[in-house]
Structure formats: structure tokens, C-alpha cells
Amino acid sequence: MTPSLSFRPAVGGREVLSAEPIDMVGMLAGAHHPGAGAVVLFSGEVRDNNRGRPVSHLEYEAYAPLAAKMIGEILAEAKTRWSLQIAVAQHRTGVVAVGDTAVVVITASAHRSEAYAANRYIIDRIKHEAPIWKCEHYADGTHEWGNNCNCHAVTGDVSKHIYESHG
């Protein structure tokens, strides 16, 4: 067995990792269901600063086979837990410009509580657990891998994370 180089498709058939700009509008257009009264979309976008320091762009790196597998599992778990009609996500790899989208999560459910809670759950788990890393490139030419999950400093276990309530 060699690690798979094809990224696992998300529940909706779209790849969960993308080296190209995310087609957020296309994802949203596909995220409707006649039994779903609530659709929630989260878009994580590149800010022009990090704690006040001007940012020129970000770069995302992923250990793709595992990241794709984990995101697929997180989506499937959320779909079951909150009885979602739809749960899809896509995360960028490579260079992402200021103002561009780095990650999108869309959830749809009969009522809105579930769509909100599941959406937050999915993005929190992706950000804390999937092997995807962010390098901040600053306007002054320097760069820094960072803003990483630091939960292990509290939990004492690199596999245990702290989340806000997920309803």
C-alpha cells in the first residue's frame, strides 16, 4: 500500500482539498435540499493582517491523504449526529491571496439550530485536527508557520482538543 494521491471526495462529490481557488458560489448553489429549511455557509478568508502585522499572502500545506480522509470522516460524523441533509467542505492548499477563501463549510438541515451547530463543529475540528498548516507571509518579506492549535498545552495530549460548545 502506498499513500493515495487522489483526495477523497466529500459527501457531495467535491474534493475536500483544492490547489485551485474554491468555487464557493458553485458549492452554495449545490447545497439545497427540499427537506432542508436552513443552510449555513462558513468561509474562512485571508485577512490583511495578523495581530496588526501586514500580511501579503498565506500558504497552506497539507498532508493530503490523511487530511482528506479526516475531513471526510468529520463531515460524515456531523451529518449523522445532526441529521443533516448536506455537509460539504473544501480547504485550499498552496498560496491564497488576501481576501480569498481558504476554507468553506456548508451544512443544511431541517431547522437552523442543527445547521449552525454542525457547521461550527466541522470547521473547529478541521482547524484543530486535520494535518493542514498555514504559513503567514508578511509584507516585509518574512514568513512564519504558526497560529497553530495549542490545545495540547492545556490537555497534555496532542490528540485532545478544546472546543467551544457545539450545541
Q: Does 94 bind other proteins (CB under 8 A)?
A: no
Phi, psi dihedrals of residue 114, rounded to the nearest 5°: -65, -40
Distance CA 88, CA 16 (A): 8
- What three-state secondary structure class fits 5? coil
Given its own copies, other proteins, none, residue 43, with its beta carbon under 5 to 8 Å by kind, binds its own copies
Q: Does 129 bind other proteins (CB under 8 A)?
A: yes
Region of 1-9, 35-43, 70-78, 134-142 interacting with its own copies (CB under 8 A): 35-43
Q: Does 5 bind other proteins (CB under 8 A)?
A: no
Q: Does 53 bind its own copies (CB under 8 A)?
A: no
Q: Does 37 bind its own copies (CB under 8 A)?
A: yes
- Kindly state the smallest distance separating residue 156's Cβ from other proteins, in Å: 11
Distance CA 54, CA 154 (A): 30
- What three-state secondary structure class fits 144? strand
Q: Does 138 bind other proteins (CB under 8 A)?
A: no
- H-run or E-run covering 133: strand 132-138
